[in-house]
Amino acid sequence: MIKLIERAKNWPERTAIKDQGKAFSYSELLQKSQSIAIHLLGTETDLSEQRVAFMVRPGFDYVAVQWGVWQAGGIAVPLCVDHPLPSLQYVIENTNARTLIVHQEYEQLLKPLVAERDLQFYIVEEFPKVEKINPLPTFPDSRRAMILYTSGTTNLPKGVVTTHQNIQYQIRTLIDAWGWDMNDHILNVLPLHHVHGIINVISCALWSGACVEFIPKFKADAVFKRFKKGEINVFMAVPTVYYKLISYWNNQDERTQKELSNIFSNFRLMVSGSAALPVSVLEDWKKISGHTLLERYGMTEIGMALSNPYRGERRPGHVGQPLPGVDIRLVGEDGVVVKEGEQGEIQVKGPNVFKEYWQNPEATVQSFTDGWFRTGDMAIWNEGAYRILGRNSVDIIKSGGYKISALEIEEVLRTHPTIKDCGVVGLANEEWGEIVAASLVCPGQKPNLKALNEWLKTKLPSYKIPRQYIFQEDLPRNTIGKVTKKALQRCFQD
Ligand code: MLC
Ligand code: AMP
């Protein structure tokens, strides 16, 4: 039994989703998702963990497809709607998905792949309604439910597998901690191929019998426009989104600023996460909205782990305490738990922690020690709250809340005919957290950078494209010839 979906039967008439001005009830969501499940099953009685990839815009259809896949017993593989074909192809091939569901607008892009891999192909808009719902499969909560792709210290993203039980725990720990209620109304502006949007925003809202509203794409003016209607009372986003909302507010005249600031008296909760929240952003947002952002810490592999309190002191620059049911320890380089006030790697244990990296037992084993998941994030326990100090790998970049592997970008750059070698690093940036920067070694003719970026866009998602370049005769290296990324970062400052 999938608890999240079962619970929807308790409040069939309530509004579950608002999408492009249209309201959909929980009963409509159940009906549509069950119809999709029946179509996916065809003559089978259970998809038995078959992977179903879907490229569907955030909105009613997205949730209906996700719930449809789950009710048919399949594993949901959400694809990013902004990714270029090679990134989509990688996920479809890596999961060995046999079925692909898309919004009509993505049909042309994915058509070659459908033919090549002989995929079972559905267009969401064309799923006919099923009047009679046959019994749907039943299975234990230990069944695999979802695969989300995350960049790591290897060049290609890894598939993070969570079970229904993991997802349930990830949701439930936030419901009490953040006081979710059926009268809540949240606006989603986040992409739906990552836990922030999938778990924290849509699944928590739907678990509670609350309403989740979608706008097609994040735009500061569109967000304020929705806020102005006075219905929304919960908001969650990455620091870059708050930065952009602050910039928008700063650019308004005084009267409009006052008008916009008045909107926030309706809100009960505003959360920031997925990247470090600069104290300046927290303070500016407080001046504008009167709200102290609740900063929390999480990861695709674990959902949320640490959170400032819903009631109580939210300390700027800190991520609070462990969420209920989540065990945390800080471990030093020697593998020993550190003393209070010393820094160590955050390690996590609990039913929220993912099952495995998809078909990658080696990486799964390496990421655990004594049953604790090694996050690769460094932190310190400082007078009653955790403070994140950064990552223990310079090859992982966080930009706009997206995790990016420097190695993946380097691999692609090296395939360009003019580039002999390259080094990619993240550079601190107020708006994006970090921006991607690349040093290129081009012994012959240097590439035109605009053309290079256009070429990269056909291979990588836009947020992975370097925003700054330098040319070097060779990359900075240590005595054994390894590129020293810290020194490379300094080269950009020079
Ligand atoms: C886009 N641009 C960037 C950029 N991304 N510039 C620098 N660095 C980046 N990373 C540029 C584009 O080239 C474009 O420039 C302009 O910004 C607008 O592009 P866009 O694609 O329209 O961007 P926008 O929609 O404004 O994106 C900003 C954003 C997005 C913050 C909404 O990055 C986003 O949705 N981030 C959230 C990611 C997320 O959900 N992460 C959670 C992971 S889970 P030009 O010149 O062409 O106009 C996780 C666990 C946890 O981390 O704890 O939650
Ligand atoms: P992802 O792999 O995309 O799920 O990103 C997870 C990573 O985001 C974590 O490992 C952290 O490095 C980072 N992160 C999430 N929340 C925070 C936060 N509040 N402060 C600093 N880093 C964060």
CATH of the domain at 423: 3.30.300.30
**What is the rounded average pLDDT for all residues in the chain?**
96
Tally of CA atoms within 13 A in the half-sphere of 157 that contains its CB: 28
Cα-to-centroid distance, 473 and ligand 1 (Å) = 32
Residue 422: inside a domain, yes or no? yes
Q: Is the distance from the beta carbon of residue 301 to the nearest atom of ligand 2 less than 6 Å? A: no
Q: Whose CA is nearest to atom 7 of ligand 2?
A: 299
Which helix (H) or strand (E) is 270 found in, with range? strand 269-272
Q: Is residue 280 part of a domain?
A: no
Domain boundary among 93, 112, 139: 139
Residue 108 burial (C-beta neighbours within 10 Å; 0-12, 13-18, 19+): exposed
Whether this model's pTM surpasses 0.85? yes
CA–CA distance, 162 with 142 (Å, rounded to integer): 9
pLDDT of 60 over the 80 cut? yes
Range of the domain at 436: 396-493
- Among the bound ligands, name the one nearest to the CA of residue 244: 1
Closest atom of ligand 1 relative to the 304 alpha carbon: 53
Is the residue at 128 inside a domain?
yes
- Nearest-CA neighbor of 27 among 12, 17, 6? 12
Residue 132's pLDDT band (cuts 50, 70, 90):
confident
pLDDT at 216 over 90: no
From 89, 113, 139, the end of a domain falls on 139
**Mean pLDDT, range 205-226, rounded to an integer:** 96
CB–CB of 54/95 below 8 Å? no
Domain boundary among 124, 139, 154: 139
What angle (nearest 5°) sits at the alpha carbon of residue 286, between those of residues 284 and 287?
65
For residue 463, how far is its CA from the centre of ligand 1 (angstroms)?
6
How do residues 261-316 score in pLDDT, each as one tens digit?
999 999 999 999 999 999 999 999 999 999 999 999 999 999 999 999 999 999 99
Number of domains observed in the structure of the chain: 2
**Torsion over CA: 101, 105, 109, 111 (sign):** positive
Q: Of 57, 310, 89, 379, which Cα lies nearest the Cα of 197? A: 57
H-helix segments, 163-278: 164-177, 195, 204-208, 220-228, 239-250, 254-262
**Is residue 155 predicted with pLDDT exceeding 80?**
no
Domain assignment of residue 391, yes or no: no
Residue 37 maps to a domain = yes
Percent helix, strand, coil in the chain, to 5, is 35, 30, 40
| Nearest listed ligand to the Cα of residue 300 | 2
Query: In 3-state terms, what secondary structure has residue 234?
Result: strand
Q: Which two three-digit tokens encode residue 285?
A: 């947002």
Q: What is the mean pLDDT of residues 37-52?
A: 96
Instruction: For a ligand 1 pocket test, name from 162, 274, 352, 403 the mutation site with the most ligand atoms within 8 angstroms of its C-beta.
Output: 274
CATH number of the domain where residue 92 is located: 3.40.50.980
Mutate to test the pocket of ligand 2, among 148, 403, 408, 432 (most ligand atoms within 8 A of CB): 403
Which residue's CA is the nearest one to ligand 1's atom 46? 467
